[in-house]
Structure formats: C-alpha cells, structure tokens
Structure 1
C-alpha cells in the first residue's frame, strides 16, 4: 500500500497570504474557492477572513470579475447555455446580482447562433429516422447543455 505524504499545514497568515496571491494571480477565482483553499492549507478561520479581505482590497480577488470570466469561458469554450452557467456560478456561491450582471454580457445573437450550431452538430451525429424521436433527442441534448426550453423549441421549429 502506497502512502501519500501529507502536505505541511500553513499556520502563518503571511505565508498564507503570499500563497493565496499566487493562487489568485494564476486565474480568476471565486471567494468560496479561495476560502476553501485557505482552509485546506490549514489556516485558522480568523486568518482566512483577514486574508480574503486583504486579497479583495489589493484587487487579487473580485467576484464580479470572476463571474464575467466564468460566463465568457463556459459560453465561448464549452458552449454552455445560460441555465447551466447560472447553476455553475451558484455552486461557486456567487451572489445572484452578480450572476445576472455577468450573464448579461452574452450577446443574444451569438447565443442563438451557438444554440443553432449545437443543434445542427448533434443532428448530424444522430441516426434516428423517426422525426419525433429525433426532435426529442435534440431537445434533450440542448436542455442538458443549459439552453432554455422555449428557445430550444423555437429553434427546432426553425430548423425543420
């Protein structure tokens, strides 16, 4: 049986702050991700909250910036719809106000074009002959990708 070495716990807040700055500089992070990481490193709760406030003051950490980066990344790279992106942000404990603000940066035309592209790409892969079953599969696929049901239904009518 193989043993993994247990990483040394950090008890010095200054070391924790330095590591957290590097952690936040690498990519945008939510406050909850950073908080969890600080606890994983073994810092005490009072130190964790102090480090978080210092990171926010020094602009290493911004929930709004994180939310916008998350929305753009998931939409442009992964092709997710608004519903799935919203759920992801809620899991990261981003406030609803910032979620709405971040989702508003998605261009409506680009969003509809992405849905159309997603449906066309999936339609080429389907071997289903029955039109009803084919539409159902396409609809379920788009819903799983986080697109709104009304928009999916309208787009499927347009594609027929």
Structure 2
C-alpha cells in the first residue's frame, strides 16, 4: 500500500529535539542513546550530539539519579532495593546510585514503610495470621524494601 517515508532531520534539528527531550524531564544516557537510535544517526553525529548535551548540562547522570530516586520514593513509595535495581537497569554508575540514595530521608523512609504496611494490612481480607503476614511481606518485597526492615515492621503491624 502506502510506504511511510521517514522524515529526515539535520544534526542541528535532532540536537534541538533532544535538548527539548532532556529539558522536559531528566533523562539518563541510555534513554537519550535510544532516542538517537530511533533517529538512525551515524555514530559521529551521535557522539557530537551526546558531547554537546553533556557540555550544556542537558544530560547529567547524577542529577537524573537523584531526581529518579526522590520521585519514585515520594510518588510510588518504592524502597531502596527497587530504586537501586531500576537505576542499574538504566546503566547508572554505582557512585551515582549511592549519591541518589542519600536523597531519601531516613525518617521519611521508615514512616513510609509503616504507613503502606498499615494501609495494605487493612485491605487484606485474609483471616489466617500467617497467610496475612506472607501477603504483606510479598507486597513490601515487590515495593523494594529491605528484608530485615520488612520483617520488623510486619511483626509490629500484624498482631
């Protein structure tokens, strides 16, 4: 039938598009490189644009890791393990992951795990004490909290 013709862009146009992509929301290198692959750029142009984005501070891995950790904790109530796993998946360096985790306030972290455990406990209809605990533990593990913290909180909440 009809073959869709891909619109071709100049390197400057793509650079501007990627700058807007990075301004809209902090991005990691992996996301920007994927976007460049979508535009089917030659390697030289890719390097030139990436270098330009880094120099003009549109692309900053540390800033991305910090805002990612803050956002996922505050909005989605993720635990540190889940945040670490997701950042590793996005190829963020160990140093930046460690820096990002410092963005999470320890008291807020503890308050959050207690709050979501109590909320979840009130929703679970299971009457068997052990099955209820298991469901809570599984839920908190999926959220990415640490094992020792989970067991401590579940013991206190489920009585």
TM-score past 0.5 threshold = yes
For residues 26-82 of structure 1, give each alpha carbon's deviation from its aligned partner in whole angstroms, at most 9, with x where no partner exists: 110001100110110111112112111110100111000000110011000001111
Question: Where does residue 37 of structure 1 map in the other structure?
Answer: 35
Question: Where does residue 144 of structure 1 map in the other structure?
Answer: 142
Please report the TM-score for the alignment, with normalisation by the length of structure 1: 0.93
RMSD, aligned α-carbons: 1.6
Distance 1:113 1:4, change over 3 A: farther
Aligned counterpart in structure 2 of residue 69 of structure 1, from 58, 62, 67? 67
**Structure 1 gap ranges (5+):** none
For residues 84-127 of structure 1, give each alpha carbon's deviation from its aligned partner in whole angstroms, at most 9, with x where no partner exists: 11111111111111001101111111111111111111111111
Distance 1:35 1:156, change over 3 A: same
> In 1, Cα distance between the equivalents of 2:77 and 2:5?
38
SS at match of 1:23: helix
**Structure 2 gap ranges (5+):** none
Q: Is the 8 A contact 1:119 1:138 kept in 2?
A: yes
Question: Where does residue 7 of structure 2 map in the other structure?
Answer: 8
> In 1, Cα distance between the equivalents of 2:129 and 2:114?
18
Question: Where does residue 111 of structure 2 map in the other structure?
Answer: 113
Q: Is the 8 A contact 1:9 1:42 kept in 2?
A: no
Question: Where does residue 101 of structure 2 map in the other structure?
Answer: 103
Deviation of 1:7 after TM superposition, in Å, equals 3.9
Aligned length: 158
Deviation of 1:6 after TM superposition, in Å, equals 5.4
Question: Where does residue 52 of structure 2 map in the other structure?
Answer: 54
Deviation of 1:146 after TM superposition, in Å, equals 0.5
